[in-house]
Structure 1
């Protein structure tokens, strides 16, 4: 039984981290083996707060070792990682990726380098960003940063589409083979923009920008998971990118129509198979 190892945060209520990532990959036909870096009652934007705890790095390593003991890592097609609760967890993740690739050299590593967004209530522990920049992102086959995280990785400010292209091309020289920028804020005010860089070529994907009274949480995790599923299914990166843009928009649109704050991943699950809207990719010079 082949599958995907997903090492991310987890919330009991709503959809963020593994709670946003696991089901979409399953709905697209993949077995998924989740390991939680934290377990919270709900995501951290709730004004009432949240309850829960951060798991230790040893907890992650123990589960990975257990999977290794039963031969699962040999069948692991990809490792996808998101929010890390401590610098020590980052080291455990790096070890898990190395262990997986030793068992299956064809396994992909997809890194969503969550570095924190205090204005959205997302705080990362001391040392996490540094470990992401210096260890996890360089060893990844695919990185899925936002505009800020990409700028941190390549050491440049991104203020235009041209900057984003240059940053993506630079990132491709630093280890990753594929870069998906899950949100480029500087390109447009009325469209949500993402960029894919692969084999030196950059592609822009855009969809309508839907405004919410409170910012959605978990959309980045959803982007990473749907794109990962496409790659694991053997799709060309541009095909996986286009599908990801359209499927995620379908979920966001249904969330807006339902006047909800939490992503309507279950209600909109058919979008992962057949998106209801189509958006062309734009090749960037």
Structure 2
């Protein structure tokens, strides 16, 4: 699957979550049409950014350089400190994409993360939530593919494994988490499965969070043959699964037309492996819902809940990757309370999206004319300490 056939995470997206089409605009339950939404639109300059601040960065020729001499040769590299949270993230990366992530945490958690639609949307939030992140870019693009053109490279499975071997040779393979997102070929997905096995041979307690990006609203973003690989190989080794409505239908063979259908689908996925399942968006009876399910023990039924997601009349890039990162981060802080983790993740994302719309409007831009680049840096307080504005309702 070449760069020009990449799936929708790089397309304009609705309010929740995003790159995978997991979200809907207020005016319509349908996705924004495919194509170059940014064509003919000039970059927006926000008043508090760039030259308006009155600060001009020094040119490369005027930046101070440290003195170099034979006596100032680099010292030997110190071994890394033991990580508390270390994530390996593997996925797609433009300055805004996410297929998989390599996250590396030097304090309490490690996460593997690959892929600002992907890595760019996920790395900074995970760092704010206490992770050291090692991102592996499955694609390295000049910009995300929602723009008229893009250039860059695509990583193949052998190249991914080469990076893993380099980490292993230096004893750097102890990760607490692995996060994967969009993967466009069977060969690369099989390489990711090898990575899961390798990481668990080092740390059997590795948490694998899988965002099974397959498509949205009846449209596949990936080759058909990936579905069976996810069903037979990926779902059984996942700790947490975050599909959208269409993806959960593909994985389970069940049609989601009611909340009960969503709960049944979660139970089906639990029986295949993952303890935690979050259907990140399901449009049911005109409402956009997140449906979560946590099976804590084999002996007891799962704890299940829903969160109604407010609709925002705009489209965004990078929200799907941000949503997955927030779910991972908050579920790590609340490992036994998926309900609280989901409330914080949805509330945080809504705050980021509202700030994004407000900033574009202040800059004189009509948010309805194109997809918006989310304002992550300006929203870091909402990521680190969100007000809990979206509440979960438990199913009895």
Q: 2:384 aligns with which of 273, 277, 282?
A: 273
> Would the aligned equivalents of 1:184 and 1:194 in 2 still touch at CA under 8 Å?
yes
Q: Residue in 2 aligned with 1:92? A: 191
Q: Residue in 2 aligned with 1:198? A: 294
- Which secondary structure state, in structure 1, belongs to the residue aligned with residue 233 of structure 2? helix
2 CA distance for matches of 1:206 and 1:125?
Answer: 32
- Per-residue CA shift, 1:227-255, capped at 9, x if unaligned? 11123345432222121111111111112
Q: Residue in 2 aligned with 1:211? A: 313
Q: Residue in 2 aligned with 1:227? A: 327
TM-score (norm 1): 0.90
2 CA distance for matches of 1:148 and 1:117?
Answer: 5
2 CA distance for matches of 1:12 and 1:73?
Answer: 26
Shift of 1:193: 1.9
**CA pair 93-234 structure 1, distance change in 2 beyond 3 A:** same
Q: Residue in 2 aligned with 1:170? A: 268
Larger Rg: 2
**CA pair 13-204 structure 1, distance change in 2 beyond 3 A:** closer
> Greater helix share, 1 or 2?
1
Unaligned runs of 5+ in 1: none
Q: 1:54 aligns with which of 144, 150, 154?
A: 154
- Per-residue CA shift, 1:65-114, capped at 9, x if unaligned? 2222222222x111000011321110111000111011001110000001
2 CA distance for matches of 1:240 and 1:77?
Answer: 18
Unaligned runs of 5+ in 2: 1-81, 98-115, 296-301, 361-366
Q: 1:258 aligns with which of 359, 373, 377?
A: 359
- Which secondary structure state, in structure 1, belongs to the residue aligned with residue 387 of structure 2? coil
1:73 aligns with 2:156: no
- Which secondary structure state, in structure 2, belongs to the residue aligned with residue 172 of structure 1? helix
Q: 1:8 aligns with which of 87, 91, 109?
A: 91
Q: 2:248 aligns with which of 150, 154, 157?
A: 150
2 CA distance for matches of 1:138 and 1:258?
Answer: 43
1 CA distance for matches of 2:388 and 2:356?
Answer: 15
- Per-residue CA shift, 1:9-61, capped at 9, x if unaligned? 11125821111111110011110111111122222233x13222321111111
How many corresponding residue pairs?
278
Between 163-172 and 129-138, the greater mean CA deviation after superposition: 129-138
> Would the aligned equivalents of 1:6 and 1:79 in 2 still touch at CA under 8 Å?
yes
2 CA distance for matches of 1:93 and 1:58?
Answer: 10
Between 237-246 and 175-184, the greater mean CA deviation after superposition: 237-246
Shift of 1:281: 0.8
Between 79-88 and 232-241, the greater mean CA deviation after superposition: 232-241
